A = this chain, B = another copy of it.
Amino acid sequence: MSKAYFYTAGCAVCNDAEKTMMGYLDQNKVDVEIVHFGENADRISEAETAGVESVPALVLDDQVYHINYGASMDDVKNG
């Protein structure tokens, strides 16, 4: 079982990607934690360290998958 992180800022692009990924990823193979920066701003640095440059993003097996483009991390930080 792999652990993954889906980073979102709650934007429309984020929400659509979240719905699809959570709906179709195999939950027997990967445990995805959804991290919403609006509620967990303290985890922005964790995401940036992992290589997240924009949201939505999925971090899985130490790779960052930016899925479409909702907002930059600068946008996230400047709220």
Contacts and interface: CB of A to CB of B under 8 A. Distances in A.
A20 B68 contact: no
Interface in A1-45: 2, 16-17, 20, 23-30
A59 to B, nearest CB: 11
A2 B23 CA distance: 11
A65 to B, nearest CB: 5
Interface residues of A, number: 21
Interface in A45-62: 60-61
18 contacts: A2-B24, A16-B63, A20-B60, A20-B61, A23-B29, A24-B25, A24-B26, A24-B29, A25-B25, A25-B26, A26-B26, A26-B27, A26-B28, A64-B68, A66-B67, A66-B68, A66-B69, A67-B67
